[in-house]
Amino acid sequence: MSPIPDFVVEMRKMIGHHPLWLPGVTAVITRGDGHVLMVKRADNGDWTPVTGIVDPGEEPAIAAAREALEETGVVISVDRLAAVSVLPEISYDNGDRAAYLDVTFACTWRSGEAYVADEESTDVRWWPIDDLPPMSAHMASRVAAGLANEREARFLAPTQPSGAACDTPAPDIVEALCPDRPVLGVDACRTGWVGVLLGPDGRATVHVAATIADLMELVRETVEPAVVAIDIPIGLPDHGVRQADVEARRQLVGKGSSLFSTLTRSAYEAPTYEQARAANLTATDGRSASAQAYALRAKILDVDAWLRSGPGVEVIEVHPELSFARMAGAPLLASKKDEEGSRARRETLHAHGVTAPAWFRGGGFGEDDLLDACAALWSAARHDRGASESFPSVPEVFADGLQAAIRV
């Protein structure tokens, strides 16, 4: 069997040496005894996991199982998606050029004795996981992803070169934010809550749930965050206004309208907006209740009940526009709902080492929700290392016993 798939040969007849964009798979195969299956490539002598090109119309997981059987004679199960990455364009000795999208899977050996089953390799061997042969950085990163006990797949951030460690940034590239402990930034969205979790490895993952308690349960399946920063009022006043809102708004010159005044507890506990207005007027000596502030009622009461039940984690209130203002040195005036505003927020996050995950339609949250959650996690990381600011400097405490302060 030729190492070059027939469909590639046919395309080369039409396009010559012009670049091809090809999907590939990597199978990191283990067998439960601390060994991983590796092949020694015939073309360059390198040791690598099983790799191959996906045929047209073929499922990547099926391609991984096929390549394992064709190259090594073993039958495997494909257990989970481990990583997705892109290799820079490669120029071959014959002039052909190609770039590869690699999909790495964690796999388990099921049957068969491993042997050199085709001409693409000269040796096949089970290597101890703690004594692997030398290999390229991108191959080592695939193996690491396949061996990691992680539920989410790894996606290489543009701030990090392939295989680079978080504490070794490439020249002229912003160093990734790597908190000492995991932190979680949370923002409300149309389906409930979206959270972005950032661990010491600098890799952000996205989690979505209907309630804040469900979101925390989902996150805790993999890690316990040290700090949760959430964009929602914490600590509802019994009378008057919160100083947190007053002082934080002063920091947002030209953007103060983005921070709604929190209503009183009696207003949020009122079942209708009309009743909430009446309750707030009574409790604040004539201050009305805005419809926008009351629209947050379900989300505020969700977090309020969760906090008063004892969440078991440090939770702080943040305001993303204030976080962005601190990162940028001034409030970001472009609307977070349009393309210019989204780009400005992504660039601001990137400048501070936070690569916002890719956003896609249908995820149950908007791109602005995702970016706000990223800004929240930036403040969470600052708070965890003792560098956050508090508005007011001494939090207010109302009858609910919760500290009312916006941190950044």
| pLDDT tens digits along 250-278 | 999 888 888 889 999 999 999 999 999 99
| pLDDT tens digits along 168-211 | 343 344 688 999 999 999 999 999 999 999 999 888 888 999 99
With a cut of 80, say whether residue 114 has pLDDT above it. yes
Place of tokens 């064709």: 70
Greater confidence (262 vs 56) lies with 262
| pLDDT of the residue at 15 | 83
Average pLDDT on 124-145 reads: 89
Lowest mean pLDDT among 156-165, 244-253, 338-347, 377-386: 156-165
Q: Angle at which helices 320-328 and 339-351 pack, to 10 degrees?
A: 60
With a cut of 50, say whether residue 151 has pLDDT above it. yes
C-beta contacts of 93-96 below 8 A and 24+ residues apart: 94/17, 95/17, 96/12, 96/17, 96/20
Does the global pTM surpass 0.85? no
Q: Compute φ and ψ for 373, nearest 5 degrees.
A: -65, -35
With a cut of 50, say whether residue 161 has pLDDT above it. no
| pLDDT of the residue at 228 | 98
Structural domains in the chain? 6-155 (3.90.79.10), 168-260+296-408 (3.30.420)
Residue 377: strand, helix, or coil = helix
* Percent of the chain with pLDDT strictly greater than 70: 93
Question: Are 23 and 54 contacting, i.e. CB atoms less than 8 angstroms apart?
Answer: yes
With a cut of 60, say whether residue 292 has pLDDT above it. yes
Greater confidence (24 vs 150) lies with 24
Lowest mean pLDDT among 33-42, 90-99, 324-333: 90-99
| pLDDT of the residue at 361 | 60
Question: Are 23 and 84 contacting, i.e. CB atoms less than 8 angstroms apart?
Answer: no
User: Residue 372's pLDDT band (boundaries 50, 70, 90)?
Assistant: very high
Give the CB-side neighbour count of residue 346, counting CA atoms within 13 A.
18
Average pLDDT on 159-164 reads: 39
Give me the chain's average pLDDT, please.
89
- What CA–CA distances, in Å, run from 178 to 147, 167, 325, 349? 22, 8, 21, 13
| pLDDT of the residue at 164 | 40
Separation of alpha carbons 314 and 134, rounded Å: 43
| pLDDT of the residue at 143 | 93
Average pLDDT on 127-132 reads: 92
Lowest mean pLDDT among 80-89, 107-116, 176-185, 236-245: 80-89
Residue 120: strand, helix, or coil = coil
With a cut of 60, say whether residue 324 has pLDDT above it. yes
The alpha carbon of residue 351 and the mean position of all alpha carbons in its chain are separated, in whole angstroms, by 17
Burial class (CB within 10 angstroms; exposed 0-12, middle 13-18, buried 19+) of 338: exposed
The alpha carbon of residue 13 and the mean position of all alpha carbons in its chain are separated, in whole angstroms, by 41
| pLDDT of the residue at 88 | 67
CA angle (371 as vertex; 254, 318 as ends), nearest 5:
65
Lowest mean pLDDT among 52-61, 67-76, 178-187: 52-61
Question: Are 225 and 184 contacting, i.e. CB atoms less than 8 angstroms apart?
Answer: yes
Cis geometry, peptide bond prior to residue 5 (ω within 30 degrees of 0):
no
> How many angstroms separate the first and last alpha carbons of the chain?
60
Residue 97: strand, helix, or coil = strand
Greater confidence (203 vs 111) lies with 111
